Structure 1
């Protein structure tokens, strides 16, 4: 093989650290951005949160050295002694805003001029954002986390009831063990045999003794509140609630008969009840069709998950990135789009550290340290610039969406127009992937509620007039049709497709079924009222 040298010209795209960080910040949600900011504040000493300063009174400096008269001194002392304590209480109720961020590669080189002097853009960014407070009216009020933690759990509720029972030490221990073995829905997933084997191991005599003890404890557990707790499966849970109704109501023979039919239905496979197979249930339960329908209506009012109300569900509050308000007067609608100041971090470069680095003369051993500090300073400046660029891009995209979907903000989702990412990208001169990053996990507060920016994008369906109808508007129409249907004769997918055709929208039955499932609307047989 002959060796040689040759020249080749090629083009390739290289992403600088600044560009990589800009792309990463653009696709972060509000919560992820706050974590990123918090991480950067911990790692970079040149970055700080800009504090809000109280407005300075005009006469404060001019009269700072003026002597106070004796008459005013007594009055000021009496006034400040009362107002000062109130100001201290208010000051303790205020919390400084904290803004969080994710990790970065410290080995990356942040290109720049390398200077350390304070730049004009090193001042505070996001200064219009007010400091967040805890919104507590008094010192005894609790925040949302404390309120959620104060909710009683299912196990605590059952243990409190068990204290009122006169039990032996063995039965109380067995009941305590079964209560702790319940899942969040209140079901006992493991069998008594498996629970006993988990405690006794291979000792068959001890396993049998534990099973007998657990059987007694299970009977006690199933008589506690909420009714149905301690069931092994759904049928047993419903049967426990039906027996409680049977014990409570003795005066109506017809109702007792319906309860008996419902108990026999709970002994059958649950899929028959889920499919509302009335004909099959009539044969298996030996009852009339009217009794089976009445029993199904009674079962439908029972609670399939007794522990549901004790589960501490984490409520994720959506904080909008953009706020849209109607500022038009009269019949002329006009909408103003603005960034939410609560999600905008107020960051700036630390002036004292930047000036100290500028005045420091680097040389000898300190040259490498000085260069590293200059890199961190440049990194802080680029971080502030990239965050500002992130919010500017979000605002531009939001303005373009509001301009295209102005009918939605006036008439609601039925007036939504077809819109794709490429239209906004072409209008703003951005790439389609950039618009996708901006509209993901970013939310807009509108007069009709808070929506993700992706909500305003949807494909178009053909109409008889040759135009297009948004898929979001078609979903809204389907929801409207189902809400107005006769519960005894619910609309089928074919009927909904025909109704859409009457509105001038060409929509196939399979498309209607897909939209109905996306809206979590049950099929016709499950929506029908017996």
Structure 2
């Protein structure tokens, strides 16, 4: 094999560590950014906050915070009588206790780092309210009854055979086999306890399927309720037809009038079969808006949320140590941390600047949305903002992902304002988001007896000046989780 030397010229984009950090900070959502900042504060002694939150960081005093210092090595003697110790003999002057006070305090404080990983050093969590589960709620009611110990054991076993929605997922014969032969548990005993469970709150637990649960819920109505008997028949035998909205076949099978069927269906649709929903833990994520939008002199303006803007600075005490006589190891340590601190502060400021520029460009293009609503949304893609700000599309994508905007019309993710363009009869472009809003508005206003088909919606949009194909209407309808017209039909 012959070896040779070749000279080749090429261009390659290399990301510096500072640029990588800036891009990383830019794409982080607010909550994750706060965690990133806290980790940087914990790891770098030259970083500190300039706002009130900085009081939580036990850092040395800096030039921006006036701190009273005492040059005397002795403790200052207070002149106020309230500071005098009433019983000096009770005070232990042991040097060991004085030296270990911080260790004792640290052993009892909440460790933020370990808490974030699921470990805690204190019993603080015992004071936090805990969502009661469906099993706990039912078991508490059973323990308050006068059932025998054997029946309570049967009831507890039945509860453990239910899912989080309260449905029984095992046959009585299978549950009977769970008990030892010494207890001599019969299926009739299990069925009797199950009947009692069905009377507990919330009503509907212990049912084997949706049909049985609806029947249990219907039993709570007074016997003289109009349409109750037919409603029970529908729930027990014809629930599949109700699910597919095949009302014509349902009416023919029951041989009833539209009015009678409508009355019975109304009873069923008013029921809430999700009896276990209120006992599920609420793990919702809270949104902290990054940008505020306000109207100033008839123009909508964007500004960074001041409550969400963290300000950092270099700690003056540590940075001044470089001017004093310290060893090389200490000097290298301070210089390295100072470099990292400056890079972090610069990356954080770059994040706020980029986010503000992108938000201002979005709000400038969507003045109609903030003034008139979703139907006035203008089509806009990432490339439009990138060209206006002379940035790369990936930068715009990072700046808008997971960032939220607070306006009088609500809270929206910045990506919500980007939508594709559709043709219109007057030659202008329509936003796909505005078209979705129009479709939903039509469906909400349609007749339940004669819902609009996708083809009729497309024709109505064309009458309003929007050229939208039937397949596009179907795609938008499905994205909004709106059922087809055949399943939206109702007599109620």
Aligned mates of 2:420, 2:183 — CA distance in 1: 63
Look up the match of 1:230. Answer: 206
Residue segments in structure 1 that go unaligned for 5+ positions in a row? 55-59, 61-76, 78-98, 104-144
Correspondence for 1:528: 489
Secondary structure of 2:219 counterpart: helix
The alpha-carbon deviation at position 523 of structure 1 amounts to: 2.4
Query: For residues 259-306 of structure 1, what are the alpha-carbon distances to aligned partners after superposition, in whole Å with 9 as ceiling and x for unaligned?
Result: 333223233364322012234435655766654443222111111111
**Structure 1 stretch displaced more, 483-492 or 25-34:** 483-492
* 1:452, distance to aligned residue in structure 2 (A): 0.8
Contact 2:245–2:488 (CA under 8 A) maintained in structure 1: no
- d(CA) in 1 for partners of 2:260, 2:230: 7
Aligned partner of 1:466 among 415, 421, 427: 427
| Equivalent-residue separation in structure 2 for 1:524 and 1:147 (angstroms) | 51
Match for residue 171 of structure 1?
Answer: 151
Asked whether the equivalents of residues 198 and 207 of structure 2 are also in contact (C-alpha less than 8 Å), the reply is yes
> What TM-score results when the alignment is normalised by the length of structure 2?
0.79
* Alpha-carbon shift at residue 38 of structure 1 (Å): 1.6
For the residue of structure 2 that corresponds to 1:244, the secondary structure is coil
Label 1:188 to 1:377 Cα distance change in 2 as closer, same or farther (>3 A): farther
- Residue of structure 2 equivalent to 1:239: 215
Q: Which residue of structure 1 lines up, in the alignment, with residue 135 of structure 2?
A: 155
Pair 1:272 & 2:248 matched = no
Contact 1:496-1:512 within 8 A present in 2 as well:
yes
CA 1:278/1:476 → structure 2, altered by over 3 Å: closer, same or farther?
closer
The aligned counterpart of 2:78 is: none
Give the alignment's Cα RMSD to 1 decimal: 3.2
Q: Deviations over 1:140-179 (max 9, x none)?
A: xxxxx99993654433432343244211101112213333
Q: Of 398, 415, 419, which aligns to 2:380?
A: 419
Deviation track 1:354-410 (CA, whole Å, cap 9, x = no partner) reads 2224434444xx3xx643442222111111110110110000001111111111122
Q: Does 1:497 align with 2:470?
A: no
Matches for 1:328-477 after TM superposition, within 5 Å: 328=297, 333-363=298-328, 366=329, 370-477=331-438
Match of 1:512 among 451, 473, 477: 473
Q: How many residues align?
A: 429
Q: Secondary structure at the match of 1:408?
A: helix
Task: Name the CA distance, whole Å, in 1 between partners of 2:310 and 2:182.
Answer: 63
Structure 1 window deviating more from structure 2 (417-426 vs 156-165): it is 156-165
Alignment partner of 1:303 is 2:268 = no
Report SS of the residue matched to 2:301: strand
Instruction: Tell me how far apart the structure 1 counterparts of residues 455 and 258 of structure 2 sit (CA, whole Å).
Output: 29
Question: Whole-Å Cα distance in 1 between the matches of residues 466 and 3 of structure 2?
Answer: 70
Cα distance change, pair 207–160 in 1 and its aligned pair in 2 (3 A): closer
User: Could you tell me how far 1:314 is from its partner in structure 2?
Assistant: 2.8
| Matched residue, 2:11 | 11
- Give 5+ residue unaligned stretches, structure 2: 56-65, 67-80, 82-111, 117-124
Using the alignment, how far apart are the partners of 1:472 and 1:266 within structure 2?
Answer: 39
Report the alpha carbon displacement of residue 194 of structure 1 after superposing the two structures with TM: 4.3
C-alpha distance in 1 between matches for 2:259 and 2:273:
23
How far apart, in 2, do the equivalents of 1:16 and 1:207 lie? 73
| Cα distance in 2 between the residues matched to 1:206 and 1:298 | 47
Match of 1:259 in 2: 228
